[in-house]
């Protein structure tokens, strides 16, 4: 498995404002899709919800908007696991158009108990897979 996951995304009219520029909140949607598809590579059919009574929720977001995307642009939303905690997964993410970085940031998701909403430790097997991916990332740097 490669360390960075990349998801192609086309900009549609519904993603833009009246001037044909992607509305800022839609970048969060693009990044969510990339994280979800990355988690699917770990065998998680429904990447945000489990049958074992837990959910993933976004617990922290830090983004920097550098350049706008426009109607019909072909983009790539990326996700790279940058850290794994007891109940959290950190991602370094970006939205790119060819070599131009449009948005870059760090997003943390937390595993929480569906009933109580309290943090819940990551499944041991999933944690092992995530840490292996993190090790690949560290070897590349």
Which residues are tagged catalytic? 17
Task: At 51, give phi and psi (nearest 5°).
Answer: -80, -10
What is the Cα–Cα distance from 80 to 65, expressed in whole angstroms? Answer: 18
Helix (H, G, I), strand (E, B) or coil at 117: coil
What is the Cα–Cα distance from 26 to 11, expressed in whole angstroms? Answer: 10
Four-point Cα dihedral 108, 75, 4, 127, nearest 10: 40
What is the Cα–Cα distance from 19 to 140, expressed in whole angstroms? Answer: 40
Show Cβ contacts of residue 49 under 8 Å, excluding neighbours closer than 6 positions. Answer: 55, 56, 114
**β-sheet bridge partners, residue 24:** none
């Amino acid at each position: 498995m490669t360390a960075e996951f990349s998801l192609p995304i086309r900009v549609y009219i519904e993603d833009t404002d009246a001037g044909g520029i992607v509305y800022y909140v839609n970048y969060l949607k693009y990044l969510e899709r990339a994280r979800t598809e990355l988690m699917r590579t770990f065998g998680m059919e429904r990447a945000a919800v489990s049958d074992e009574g837990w959910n993933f929720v976004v617990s922290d977001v830090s983004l920097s908007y550098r350049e706008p995307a426009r109607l019909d642009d072909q983009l790539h939303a990326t996700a790279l696991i940058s850290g794994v905690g007891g109940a959290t997964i950190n991602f370094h993410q970006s939205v790119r158009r060819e070599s131009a970085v449009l948005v870059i940031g760090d997003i943390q998701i937390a595993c929480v108990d569906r009933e109580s909403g309290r943090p819940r430790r990551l499944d041991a097997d999933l944690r092992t897979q995530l840490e292996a991916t993190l090790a690949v990332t560290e070897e590349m740097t």
